[in-house]
Amino acid sequence: MLYIAYGSNISEKRMHQRCPSAQLITKGYLDDTVLCFHYYADIERAHDYVTPAILWEIPEAEIIALDRAEGFPKHYKKEQLVFIPEPQLSVEEMIALAGADNVHIARDFMDVANGILGTAYVMTDWKKNEWKKHNQQTPIEYVEHLIAGYKEQCFDGWYLHNLWYALYRGEKPPEHRA
């Protein structure tokens, strides 16, 4: 399975604890999404925002362990999303990385490849409502873990830091555009 990680699983250490045979494919982002917190990391659609992400290859035998760690299907559901590699890759390079069936073609006037199809875990409405009901604050240790993963992958750790504090204060997320 091509797995798109945007939260704690961007860290190789964390990912290999959950899926020892996972292979990091490349880094990039999810377009028109914003990272948010409902106690744990989540993504939501948001025009003109991007969420840094990592693309992993997870062996079929380890998907059950990842499902369990993510609380699938009660806490997180699986969604097919388009992952944009960074730096940009040609169609041939994307096919070499992910296989022809996983290269997403934008069906517009140009029919150009614009990313790789992968699976991401997105928080369920039930889990979001549970978080609101209990008014739980995201633990700083969890955010620090995410910041460490961002730094490990050479993403902008300050984006995550500023995002968490903006959400903590009830403000609009800081703009982050690739």
Would you say 25 and 34 are in contact if contact means Cβ atoms under 8 Å apart?
no
93 vs 129: CA distance, rounded Å: 41
Question: Where in 1-75 does DSSP place strands (E)?
Answer: 2-5, 23-38, 40-57
Sign of CA dihedral 120, 145, 63, 97: positive
Q: What is the mean pLDDT of residues 55-59?
A: 97
Task: Identify the pLDDT of residue 109.
Answer: 47
41 Cβ partners below 8 Å, 6+ apart? 6, 7, 8, 35, 146
Query: Average pLDDT of the chain?
Result: 86
Lowest mean pLDDT among 41-45, 73-77, 163-167: 163-167
Q: Which of 93-97, 159-163, 174-178 is modeled with the greatest confidence?
A: 93-97
Give residue 11's pLDDT band: very low, low, confident or very high (50, 70, 90).
very high
Q: What is the mean pLDDT of residues 80-108?
A: 84
Closest by Cα among 70, 157, 168 to 119 = 70
Tens of pLDDT, residue by residue over 144-173, are 888 889 989 998 777 777 777 766 666 666
Q: What is the mean pLDDT of residues 134-143?
A: 80
Alpha helices in 41-156 (DSSP H): 63-70, 91-98, 125-134, 140-152
Would you say 46 and 33 are in contact if contact means Cβ atoms under 8 Å apart?
yes
Lowest mean pLDDT among 54-63, 79-88, 92-101: 92-101
Task: Identify the pLDDT of residue 167.
Answer: 66
Q: Higher-confidence residue: 19 or 88?
A: 19
Backbone angles phi, psi at 175, to 5 degrees: -70, 135
Which structural domains are found in the chain, ordered by start? 2-168 (3.10.490.10)
Task: Identify the pLDDT of residue 116.
Answer: 93
Q: Is the pLDDT of residue 174 over 70?
A: no
Task: Identify the pLDDT of residue 173.
Answer: 64
Task: Identify the pLDDT of residue 100.
Answer: 86
Task: Identify the pLDDT of residue 57.
Answer: 97
